[in-house]
Amino acid sequence: MNYEVKSKFTLFFILVTVGFVVFIATLLYWSSIDLRSPNLQMSEEKMSLRGSIISADNYVLSGSQRLYKVVVDTRNINPEKKELFIKLYCLYTNDKEARIKKIINQESGSVTLSYNIDSKNAEHLQSLAGKLLKLGVFKSYTRPNGIVFLHGMDIVQSGELRVYPYKDALSPIVGHVRKVEQDAITRRQGVKGIERYYEDRLSFAQDSYIIGYRDAINSIILNKKVKVKEPINGQDIQLSIPLKLQKMVERKLDLHKEKLGAKEIIAVVMESGTGKIVSLASSNRYDVNSFKKDEYPFLNIQAAEYIYEPGSVMKPIVYALLLKNGKIVPNDIVRTHNGRYTMGKFTITDEHRFESEWITAKNAIIHSSNVGMAQLAQKLDPESYFSGLKSFGFGQKSGVDLSQENAGAIPTVNQLTSEIARGSTGYGYGINVNFLQLIKAFNVFNNDGLMINPKIAEYIIDKQNIRHDIRNEEPQRVIPANIANSIKQTLIETVTEGTGTRAFVEGVTVGGKTGTAQMAQGGVYLRRYNSSFIGFANDNDGAKFTIGVLVIEPSRNYFGAQSAAPIFKDVVKGMIEDGKLHALQGN
């Protein structure tokens, strides 16, 4: 009996020992294959987005959307339910069944069905993915190494799409972007305009992620153990340009371009006291979402990049330098020489003859006398001439917040020792400028002699939706206030009785100067012209705007008085209709 009990005890001990060994062996086995098995923990990343560009009246001019791609492993698709999968997928995505069938049948393994799924459709497809698993559309697959895996339909972020809802509005000022690949994600990077200038603000700061354990349909279980990193999107840029006003100006430029047969027309409207640009429009625009090869020249912002000889709009600038340096007073007289004056080997002419042999310096501006200004300009010594042009911002960038600007060129001190150089610069030849430089310079006359940089963006909006002012540089005094106001009055008289009468608008104070410049190529002047009108429009309620129009190569009515001045008038009338200016009503 004792022997029998002892045998049973021994057998029991052996069985327990064997069981324990099997248990330990099993643990060792599973720990050894853990790295080859699917992990129960998973992570999801969500890319942050580029900031938006917003108009002054709160329209999103440029914004970003997430894009997703749809990936399946064809080895996991149940052959018996392949047709069901194709039909349901195409129903959700509006894709073509023939295309999806071709992709799935083409190769065995992981395939991408689409790269351009937006956020809304991605959510719907994520829901469909769970339903497909429950319907048995996907089945497990055993790899050659013995590992069994089951993947359903994965909706994975692929990049971001930059969208411009208003197509060509504010192009090329807003600018455009290009694709850049970063960690298998397609990002967007600014190339031109505001998109490029504020790249460091618009670009994202930090992607988000969430790490946790997954459920049966590969979704993360949201509980206290989940690790989350919040996204930091790019900051938004709000412009000082209202979309409504901009589109009004653009429509007017389109009409006048056709009427004049011009290569391009540019208009700028700037608040005189702040430098805020409220419209910067071109007739040459493009749909930023998709532009054609023949529209590539339209990508350039000609207001800042195109340099040219300005013609007679330079006369008030040189006139201001003469007054500032005490070389003349407005009523000093200068000889007209019957409209033709020889200087060295060159003959300077006026477009019209004056009744009197002598005119005042002031009238040389009002009636735009080349002969008069060429003679008056001789009174400036080369050093004062050069430093004066620089003080008005010529030969240097205007400070506008655009990615590219051509600074142009002014004559050197040595060149200005020549009477021909001094004379020709006096009426706008022998100097190269861009249009925004001229707007900035003319603004001095409507801003009590103070110069301020033009600015297009007004606010940076952070992730808390708080606006931060984009500070402009402090205004710089260029000429005394009394001289600025004297020239301002002269420009008003230019509109009421001189070359700018076609810019006159009833009910507001308008002043300005016409300009017509013959274009040169290879040192030879051609029968091609640029015409312009630059001035201001003010009302009695304190609104003050510096406004300019540049017509590039009109084929008809090329004089500034015939082409640019009427467009200026049209823009001012549109601003009155828009409520930017308040016109006094007549009795």
- Residues 371, 353: Cα–Cα separation, whole Å: 11
CA distances from 99 to 71, 90, 130 (A): 15, 10, 23
pLDDT(140) > 90:
no
Mean pLDDT within 20-49:
55
Contact 169, 246 (CB under 8 A): yes
SS3 assignment, position 553: coil
Write the CA distances from 569 to 150, 537, 553, 566, integer angstroms: 71, 10, 20, 5
Question: Of 28 and 268, which is predicted with more confidence?
Answer: 268
How many beta carbons lie within 10 A of that of residue 484, not counting itself? 22
For the segment 373-393, the average pLDDT, to the nearest whole number, is: 98
Nearest alpha carbon to residue 465 among 52, 47, 48, 45: 52
Secondary structure (DSSP) of 18-45: HHHHHHHHHHHHHHHHGGGSPPSEEEEE
Strand 450-451 relative to strand 53-54: parallel, antiparallel, unpaired? unpaired
- pLDDT tens per residue, range 390-449: 999 999 999 999 989 999 999 999 999 999 999 999 999 999 999 999 999 999 999 999
pLDDT of amino acid 25: 58
* Confidence bin at 151 (pLDDT 50/70/90): confident
The pLDDT of residue 150:
81
Select from 584, 585, 575, 582 the least CA-distant residue to 241.
Answer: 575
- Predicted confidence at residue 212, as pLDDT, reads 58
Residue-wise pLDDT for 473-516, tens only, equals 899 999 999 999 999 999 999 999 999 999 999 999 999 999 99
Distance of CA 492 to the CA centre of its chain: 34
Catalogue the E-assigned strands of 152-207: 154-163, 177-182, 185-190
Mean pLDDT of the chain: 89
The CATH 3.90.1310.10 domain(s) of the chain lie at 43-239
- The percentage of the chain sitting over the pLDDT mark of 90, rounded to a whole number, equals 70
Residues of the chain with CATH 3.40.710.10: 243-578
Query: What is the pLDDT, as a whole number, of residue 587?
Result: 47
The pLDDT score that the predictor gives to residue 51 is 95
- Between strands 53-54 and 236-239, the pairing is parallel
Q: Would you state the structure tokens that stand for residue 245, as one six-digit string?
A: 């006003």
Confirm whether pTM is higher than 0.95. Answer: no
Q: What does the pLDDT look like over 3-17, one tens digit per residue? A: 565 565 666 666 667
Flag whether pLDDT at 28 surpasses 90: no
For residue 38, the model assigns a pLDDT of 46
**pLDDT for residue 277 is more than 60:** yes
Greater confidence, 564 or 119?
564
| pLDDT > 70 in the chain, percent | 87
pLDDT at 517: 92
* DSSP string for residues in 196-221: HHTHHHHS--B-EEEEEEB-TTS-B-
**What pLDDT, on the 0 to 100 scale, is given for residue 20?**
63
Contact 537, 510 (CB under 8 A): yes
Question: What H or E segment, with its residue span, contains residue 67?
Answer: strand 60-73
Please check the confidence at residue 58 and state whether its pLDDT lies above 60: yes
Q: With 90 as the cut, is the pLDDT of residue 108 above it?
A: no
Type of residue found at 312: S
Phi, psi of 386 (to 5 degrees): -65, -50
Q: Name the percent of the chain in helix, strand, coil, to the closest 5.
A: 35, 25, 35
pLDDT in tens, 301-310: 999 999 999 9
Radius of gyration of the chain (CA): 36
**Is the pLDDT score of 359 beyond 80?**
yes
Q: Which residues contact 533 (CB under 8 A, 6 or more apart)?
A: 313, 500, 503, 512, 513, 514, 515, 548, 549, 560, 561, 564, 565, 567, 568
pLDDT value at residue 148: 76
pLDDT at 292: 85
Fold type of domain 43-239: Penicillin-binding protein 2a (Domain 2) (3.90.1310)
Predicted confidence band at 461 (pLDDT cuts at 50, 70, 90)? very high
**Average pLDDT of the residues in 162-189:** 90
Res. 42: pLDDT tops 70: no
Could you read off the pLDDT of 63-98 as tens digits, one per residue? 999 899 999 999 999 999 999 999 999 999 999 999
What is the rounded average pLDDT of the residues 247-252? 98
The separation between the first and the last C-alpha atoms of the chain, rounded to the nearest angstrom, is 136
Instruction: Give the bridge partners for 190, in sequence order.
Output: 177
Quick one: average pLDDT of 529-543?
A: 97
Question: Which range is least confidently modeled, 215-229, 481-495, 538-552?
Answer: 215-229
Query: 41 falls in which pLDDT band (50, 70, 90)?
Result: low
pLDDT the model gives residue 48: 83
Q: What would the 3-class secondary structure string for 115-146 be? A: EEECHHHHHHHHHHHHHHHHCCCECCEECCCC
> Which token pair is 57?
């009246």
- Check residue 523 and give its pLDDT: 73
| pLDDT for 13 | 63
* CA 550, chain centre distance (Å): 20
In 3D space, the residue among 383, 371, 373, 376 whose CA is nearest the CA of residue 416 turns out to be 383
- State the DSSP string of 323-354: HHTTS--TT-EEE-GGGEEEETTEEEE-SS--
- What number is the average pLDDT over the span 525-548? 95
- The CATH fold assigned to 243-578 is Beta-lactamase (3.40.710)
